Structure 1
Amino acid sequence: MEIDIRTQLLSLAEPEYQKFSAALIPNITNVLGVRLPVLRKIAKQLAAGDWRTYLETADDEYFEEVMLQAMVIGHVQADLDELLKAIEAFVPKIDNWSVCDSFCAGLKYTKVHSEPMWAFLQPYLRSDQEYEIRFGVVMLLNFYLDERYIDQVLSALDQIRHEAYYVKMAVAWAISMAYVKQPEVTMCYLKHNTLDDFTYNKALQKITESYRVDPETKQMIRSMKRKVKKQATS
């Protein structure tokens, strides 16, 4: 690379923003403090150049270095097979919700490759790894909540069994978004599901927090909350 990426990132880091950003991602300690719009600008430049060499040689020590790779993969122009290989190589690097969710949102070419991408996502939804599952779930909520896929999405979400917090929260988020976009189908699902109590109640909570749900419906959703028995202490 003409300009060393890490040197560039270090020069763009802001100490105050580092404190703010790091506080939002409690499970990591390698945030430099570079703002996301700045990273996006760099990513577009890298994607327009020799992005293959960049991805093959990119460092992973800092949060921003990994986020930058995520953004580049979303901007590159390539055939689907090459894109899928890049995604597959990147997913194991995801270790926090921020990189995961930004990465998924950037994979907009999923819209024009919905069928092969759907097949590609299935192993991640069945994974036993926290962020592999979250990757799959967040991809579903970004690109598959239409009439064509909603039944399959809800079925896939209902089959996820993992105790990790960021998996449960992703499933709850996906169900809440499904309700906003496909309320009738999702309401039927909410009345007949096998979700654990935490995920189910979180999904209801997120629905009631949406500005796209009217007050009367929110009241009805609140009434569906499961009462969770507190465990007796010895």
Structure 2
Amino acid sequence: MSELNEKIRQQLMEWAEPDFGTFSAGLIPGEKHVLGVRLSLLRSYAKELAKGDWQTYLSQASDDSMEETMLQGMTLGYVKSDFTGIRPYLDAFLPKIKNWSVCDSTCVSLKIARKEPEAVLEYLLPYLRSDEEFFIRFGVVMLLDHFIMEDYIDLVLEEMDKIHQDAYYVKMAVAWNLSVCFVKFRDKTLSYLRTDHLDDWTYNKTIQKIRESYRVTKEDKEMLLKMKRKAEK
């Protein structure tokens, strides 16, 4: 283990809260190595690492705990580089994503998508068409975090409609994405939901998540309830 990795691990162990780790692990099926480090601490540490020799860190980083992997994704989001510089490290990192928590914390950190949207969008499309559950979720959540805006809403809806992967964390991400689309672009999303090609489960989960939003009117919630499909495939 490199000296930097050992230093990182020792710092994470100092911050670890075993009870919080047990609680967090219960929310992340299949993840057994959760230290219990608060996200706020990880984000602060990632910002610090991003200011140093982040290339060497990411090239040698360990993945013995979920937090070590999560820290890498966050660091990628904070580095001062163009997308060309980030891309090879992102290529190497994405196969390490094995749960929704690492996926989503990475996506929200990647603000480079706001600076170079076209380059990032081109990068995302193959992941959206992948057969791997967390590659697809990465693409869906990236669109949710950075592309639900006037210039890209049509593309986001189109891409959601193309996804037919029967994987829980993909379907949940699509429903979450579409619920945000509805909040931000009600009419376009409502029109889409009247003509979509979603499976029944994802469609009904989308309706549910929209109705759970405090930013949706009571009238719309009542209308959407009537739009639910009776049978789920």
Q: Identify the TM-score tier after normalising by the shorter chain.
A: over 0.9
Structure 1 unpaired stretches of 5+: none
RMSD (CA atoms) = 1.3
Amino acid at match of 1:76: V
Structure 2 unpaired stretches of 5+: none
Residue 6 of structure 1, CA deviation: 1.2
Query: Partner residue of 1:208?
Result: 211
Q: Does 1:99 align with 2:102?
A: yes
Q: Does 1:115 align with 2:124?
A: no
Query: Partner residue of 1:225?
Result: 228
Residue 143 of structure 1, CA deviation: 1.1
Query: Partner residue of 2:188?
Result: 185
Q: Does 1:5 align with 2:8?
A: yes
Runs of 4+ in 1 over 6 A off after TM superposition: none
Deviation by residue 1:137-168 (Cα, 9 ceiling, x = unmatched): 00011111112111111111111111110000
Among residues 41, 45, 52, which one is paired with 1:42 in the alignment? 45
Please give the alpha-carbon distance, in whole angstroms, between the structure 1 residues aligned to 2:221 and 2:213. Answer: 9
Amino acid at match of 1:74: G
Please give the alpha-carbon distance, in whole angstroms, between the structure 2 residues aligned to 1:85 and 1:117. Answer: 13
Amino acid at match of 2:88: K
3-state DSSP of counterpart to 1:31: coil
Query: Partner residue of 2:25?
Result: 22
Task: Select between 184-193 and 220-229 the one with higher mean Cα deviation.
Answer: 220-229
Distance 1:107 1:20, change over 3 A: same
Please give the alpha-carbon distance, in whole angstroms, between the structure 1 residues aligned to 2:30 and 2:215. Answer: 31
Count of residue pairs the alignment pairs up: 230
Distance 1:229 1:59, change over 3 A: closer
* Alignment check: 8 A CA contact 2:50 2:75 kept: yes
* Alignment check: 8 A CA contact 2:207 2:224 kept: yes
Query: Partner residue of 2:199?
Result: 196
Please give the alpha-carbon distance, in whole angstroms, between the structure 1 residues aligned to 2:232 and 2:40. Answer: 45
Distance 1:229 1:111, change over 3 A: closer
Give the TM-score of the pair, scaled to structure 2. 0.95
Give the TM-score of the pair, scaled to structure 1. 0.95
Please give the alpha-carbon distance, in whole angstroms, between the structure 1 residues aligned to 2:117 and 2:82. Answer: 14
